[in-house]
Amino acid sequence: MRKTIRILIMLTMIIGLLPGAALAKDKWSIEGAGDITSISISEDGSQLAIGSHGAKASVFSRDGDPVFEFAANNVVTGVQLLNDGQLLVSSDDRHLYAFDAKGGKLWDKNMKSQIKGISASLDGSVAVIFTQRSENLVFIDAANGEEKSKAPVGAILKAVKVSPNGKWIAASSSDQYIHLMDEQGNVVQRFGAGGQIMGISVSDSGETAVGTDKKAVEWFDKDGKQLHRFVTRDVVTDVSFTADGKVLGVSDLSGNFYLLSSKGSRLWETKLSGQGRNVELDLKGQTLYAGTGDGQILKFDVGSIISQAQKQGKVKIGLWAAASLAAVALIWLVLNLMKKRNRLGVFREIWKSKWVYLGLAPTFVLLLTFLYYPAFSGLFHSLYKWQPGARTTFIGLDNFKRMFHDPYVMNGLGNLLILIITGLIKAIIPPLFVAELIYHLRSKRLQYGFRTMFTASMIIPGVAMLLVWQNLYDPNLGLFNKFLELIGLGSWAHAWLGDPETAIWALIFIGFPFIGILQLLVFYAGLLSIPVELIESAKIDGAGLPRIIRSIHLPLLAGQFKFLIILSLIGIVQDFNGILIVTGGGPMDSTYVPALQMYYAATKFNDLGYASALGVSMFVVILIITVINMKFIQSEET
């Protein structure tokens, strides 16, 4: 009973640490609104204003109850709620409007040009607009709409945002630059983004975030240094900071909404039907409002997500601290045990050879960094749905189960079996035959000359050879079809790489006559190591050349056979370069192999979790083959 209670308590604690989910508490729509162009939340979060492509500016309570609505004569391009309840509205009808908390119009200012955006501090002390194809940021008086001053940017403005405290202004321009200004309009920093800027936000501390058409969010500090870069699933449409700049809300064109942390992590993600057009976080990051392309507004309670992320951060720190203490304790125990057994002298020996170990250190560091770390990372991520920039979710063995239902992998296994059988034949028989021919040449000069000629071919790049063979197979200009026409067999001409029935065999034939230089040298070196006395004795006993090869050469080359077989198997299972260059896996899936599917999953589909699972599976296959081979060798030696 006690054990059951303990298990329940542990499960409860674990569940408490799992990532939370923010649910939409409220959802409503504005009839005839179309795209939501802008959202603004009051300082206390009690009201929010919505601007839409349907020429409407609407104010709602936090629960979605309508307060008032205003119809402009064109698209509403921006709304801004001030802390006294005043609402500023900009529109493509060239007018700038102001309303009191009850919807009464305070003033209406004709700006003579289409107004493309508006932003202001919460107290209204700093209010800016920009007009169509303008390079000037216009400062206005929120009390009457009169122009106060202009700040030239030097390029056509695309978006603008004023921090809640009014100390910072971030403006983006068509040349992909961000202009960070003070409250007077003086440019403090100017720095570039990695694409066309679709949305911009700035915090009270001067941190700036932009969303780009490159499916990315870029986060900068007040000095213009990039702190983070997040990859999204589609073009970013809007970004929104909390006042302190610790959390960022993001929307993209496919209807995905994200919550990002200043520590570089993704806290939350959800997908809605329709396009994501606008996003706004309240000042404290408790509520996120999402606007879609069909006039819907959704309210999400994200405060629990943020607080949970903070708790998880503390738990991680605690775990690291515990792991560090455990490591120290383990080292102490090992040293104490070595002391009792008089084994501490090994450290003196190491110190005596310190320069040797120091010289070896860079090699081991590079091996750990670029060989072992990626391998263990792949093993770890094979259990996750892992798409860099997106949320990493533990899915257990689902990636491995998916392989059995993946037609490309299943068909690829059949192709791989064909390639293994033919590859082993190509790797063993032709090089052995040529090695025997060179070995039996009587002239040492001829032996040296042929060895040199074969070895010299290694300088030809493998890609160049593949491209040459690709041209040989060309159905219109290729040498094979032209030769068939020349000898009167033009009816046999074929699109060798374009036909699913012949493509795999055309790939296998690449490299004819299949004399691998490494294999040739290994066999030749093995033949040279055979004692001459054995061969002379066999000749005295009347053995001919075939009998000598069968009874002496082949048995004594067993080690070379085993080595080349295991090396060839590993190479065939891992290799996809030739297929990628020549056919790309086609036509259809006739030349697909699992390694190629792994490559496509990682590079084309950004599904690195599945790619890792494929890589781990191939590793297991190769490991089993290697262990069997090593065990076989060991048994023979003993």
pLDDT in tens, 425-478: 999 999 999 999 999 888 888 888 988 888 888 888 888 899 999 999 998 888
pLDDT in tens, 371-430: 889 888 889 889 988 876 556 778 889 999 999 999 999 999 999 999 999 999 999 999
**Is 305 exposed, middle or buried (CB count within 10 Å of its CB: 0-12, 13-18, 19+)?**
buried
pLDDT in tens, 360-374: 899 989 999 998 898
- Give the residues across from 68 on adjacent strands: 59
Measured between alpha carbons, how far is 621 from 606 in angstroms, rounded to an integer?
24
What pLDDT, on the 0 to 100 scale, is given for residue 344? Answer: 75
Give just the sign of the alpha carbon dihedral 92, 98, 104, 109. negative
State percent of the chain over pLDDT 70.
93
What pLDDT, on the 0 to 100 scale, is given for residue 5? Answer: 39
Q: In the predicted model, what is the mean pLDDT of the chain? A: 87
What pLDDT, on the 0 to 100 scale, is given for residue 519? Answer: 92
pLDDT in tens, 494-525: 889 989 999 999 999 998 888 989 999 999 99
Measured between alpha carbons, how far is 344 from 346 in angstroms, rounded to an integer?
5
What pLDDT, on the 0 to 100 scale, is given for residue 371? Answer: 87
157: part of which helix (H) or strand (E)? strand 157-162
Please tell me the number of Cα atoms within 13 Å of 285 on its side-chain side: 26
What pLDDT, on the 0 to 100 scale, is given for residue 422? Answer: 95
Measured between alpha carbons, how far is 224 from 91 in angstroms, rounded to an integer?
31
**Is 350 exposed, middle or buried (CB count within 10 Å of its CB: 0-12, 13-18, 19+)?**
exposed
* Residue 632 pLDDT level (bands cut at 50, 70, 90): low
Measured between alpha carbons, how far is 630 from 622 in angstroms, rounded to an integer?
12
| Mean per-residue pLDDT, 96-124 | 94
Measured between alpha carbons, how far is 211 from 161 in angstroms, rounded to an integer?
13
409-606 folds as MetI-like fold (1.10.3720)
Strand, helix or coil for residue 394? strand
What pLDDT, on the 0 to 100 scale, is given for residue 15? Answer: 35
Q: Which tokens in the block code for residue 261?
A: 């942390």
Measured between alpha carbons, how far is 66 from 60 in angstroms, rounded to an integer?
4
Measured between alpha carbons, how far is 320 from 311 in angstroms, rounded to an integer?
14
**Is 412 exposed, middle or buried (CB count within 10 Å of its CB: 0-12, 13-18, 19+)?**
buried
Provide the residue ranges of all domains of the chain, joining segments of one domain with +: 34-229, 311-352, 409-606
pLDDT in tens, 264-291: 788 888 888 889 999 999 988 889 999 9
State the residue for tokens 């702190």.
227
What pLDDT, on the 0 to 100 scale, is given for residue 306? Answer: 73
Measured between alpha carbons, how far is 144 from 138 in angstroms, rounded to an integer?
14
CATH 3.90.320.10 fits 34-229, yes or no: no
What pLDDT, on the 0 to 100 scale, is given for residue 388? Answer: 67
What pLDDT, on the 0 to 100 scale, is given for residue 177? Answer: 94
